[in-house]
Amino acid sequence: MTIDIPFIWIAFKEIIKALPITLILTIVPLLAGFLIGIGVALVRIYKMKFLYRIANGYVSFFRGTPIIMHIMVIYFGFPLLLDQLSLRFDLGIQTNKIPIILFVLIALTLAAGSYLSEIIRSGIISVSNGQMEAAYSVGMTKFQAMNRIILPQALAQSIPNFTNIFVGFLHTSSIAFLVSQKEVTGAANIVASVNLKFLEAFIAAGIIYWGITILVEGISFLLEKKVTAYNRGGVS
């Protein structure tokens, strides 16, 4: 067993074709999860009745179980549930026609929602109360204050955390290959098994993930500088 260096490049060219699916599996759940996250964060901060308990349970459970469980449970459970519903109400849904990627997207969205809600919550809490008082004092409503004053500051402060989550979900999307999705890891697995060159294929996949991670971290660094330009700290 030796390492075939030229094959890494061949595998790289083959595997990078699967990059769009990996990016879809990363970005779509994060965007959808962001909406869930804001909703859940606000519910938890304002301690709304009943909803508050549900939100707490949701965040705790999804952060407390491996994401592979969410993918598997939804992958096996959703078709069962839909079949039952369609049988009862005669909807005529054929679950075997639903592409698997949809289940993965749902699972990752729910997971992303729970992780993002914690980040958004901590971001909102970190904005000092004086900001809210100042907003009220100039006659803003609660919604205006949240929307115009608190959230922009909270989100700007949370950029490093968002980057971590983005990178985390980029890496998490590799689990989708276990339910036979042809994303970067899945493609690497196929290239590896076809050519019986496992190490080279996974090196190529590793380079792709690494490259994207570095790119994302670079963009985030620039963004953070731009977004927090107004923010002068205690000493500078």
Partner 1 sequence: MGKAFDLMLIIEFIPTLIQYLGITLQILAASIILGLVLGIAAAIPRLYKIPILNQLVILYVSFIRGTPILIQLFLVFYGLPAILLLLFSIDITRMEAIYFVIITYAISNGAGFSEIFRAAIRAVDYGQTEAAFSVGMTSRQNFFRIVLPQAVRIAFPNMANSVIGSLKDTSLAFTIGVMDMMGRGDTLIAATAHALEVYLSLSIIYYIIVVMFEKIFSKLEKYFNRYQKADVTAVA
Chain residues binding partner 1 by CB under 8 A are: 1-3, 45, 60-61, 63-69, 72-73, 76-77, 80, 83, 124-125, 127-130, 132, 150, 167, 170-172, 174-175, 177-178, 185, 188, 198-199, 202-203, 205-206, 209-211, 213-214
Secondary structure letter of residue 127 according to DSSP: S
Nearer to partner 1, 162 or 177 (CB): 177
Q: Closer to partner 1 at the Cβ: 47 or 225?
A: 47
Cα separation, 189 vs 196, whole angstroms: 10
Nearer to partner 1 by Cβ, of 212 and 229: the residue is: 212
Per the CB < 8 A criterion, the answer to whether 82 and 93 are in contact is yes
- With beta carbons less than 8 A apart as the criterion, state whether 115 and 33 touch: yes
User: DSSP readout, 169-222?
Assistant: HHHHGGGGGGGT--SHHHHHHHHHHHHT-HHHHHHHHHHHHHHHHHHHHHHHHH
Residue 156 or 188 with smaller CB distance to partner 1: 188
Q: Which is nearer to partner 1, 89 or 229 (CB)?
A: 89
Place of tokens 């993002």: 116
**Residue 147 beta carbon to partner 1: minimum distance, rounded to whole angstroms:** 14
The per-residue DSSP string of 19-77 comes to: HHHHHHHHHHHHHHHHHHHHHHHHHHHTT-TTHHHHHHHHHHHHHHS-HHHHHHHHHHH
What minimum distance in Å lies between the beta carbon of 71 and partner 1? 9
* Smallest separation, CB 232 to partner 1 (Å): 20
In the complex, least distance from residue 223 CB atom to partner 1, rounded to whole angstroms: 19
Nearer to partner 1, 13 or 142 (CB): 142
Contacts of 88 (CB under 8 A, 6+ apart): none
Q: Minimum CB separation from partner 1 for residue 119, in Å?
A: 13
For residue 98, which of 111, 114, 82 has the smallest C-alpha distance? 82
